[in-house]
Amino acid sequence: MLYGIISDIHSNLEALDVVLNKLYQAGKIVCLGDIVGYGPNPNECIEKIKELNIPTVAGNHDAAVTGQMDVKWFNQNAREAVFWTQKEISEENLGYLKELPEVLEEDDFQMVHGSLRSPLEEYVTSLTEALPTFGLMTRPVCFIGHSHVPLFIARKKDGNYDGRALLDGEEVLVDDYEKVIINVGGVGQPRDGDPRASFGTYDSKTRIFTLHRVEYNVEQVQGKMKKVGLPQPLIDRLQFGR
């Protein structure tokens, strides 16, 4: 099956719509969390995920909006976006976020927002941070989000390790490795210097993961954010992918 792998939508409806249109051939789409936070369309993004019946794990911003996570560790801009989202989100969609699991399994892969050791909080951006998740993996592949930076870290069959940042169009052949952790980047909040939405596809037959980037109407999202009074730094960063 061809899977679409998305993460970190962050209430960015324009980016989500473009990505979903690109994934029209996918047999199934899954989401690695943070549907909400930062952006101006939390309800609309949740409704899209629900409408398409996309299996989704909880992200830290999802948990913060529901009150299941303390926002004291969030920076001021992120906190303001959480508080704004809490006022805007419908009761039905709040209930949906509250029920999101922290870890899911599909086919030959696992899904988690941060890490298997700490699903909502831990970032996996290096081999040292990846080691605990490797130890907890029950499938050969684990898809993650949270850092908004696409990369893969892999344990080779000889016990050594491999990994690198992933650029548009780059592939990872899972069968080359014993275990692979792949970050698909952020749909609505890229942070690798490329403002285009980031997502992945995974073919469970060929066992090839491919990273994709796609442009969307950044200015339209920025205009919405400004209109509802979201913090200016959150508006500006979309333009630069930082």
CATH assignment of the domain containing 55: 3.60.21.10
**Does the predicted model carry a pTM greater than 0.75?**
yes
Q: What pLDDT digit, counting tens, does each position of 79-100 carry?
A: 999 999 999 999 999 999 999 9
The arithmetic mean of pLDDT across residues 181-202, rounded, is: 97
Average pLDDT, the chain: 97
Instruction: Count other Cβ atoms within 10 Å, centred on residue 48.
Output: 17
- Within 8 A by CB and 6+ apart from 159, the residues are none
* Distance separating alpha carbons of residues 238 and 219, to the nearest angstrom: 9
> What is the domain range of residue 223?
2-240
pLDDT at 216 over 90: yes
213 vs 197: CA distance, rounded Å: 5
Count the domains in the chain.
Answer: 1
Residues 6+ positions from 89 with CB-CB distance below 8 Å: 36, 42, 43, 46, 65, 97
Residue 73: pLDDT band by 50, 70, 90 thresholds?
A: confident
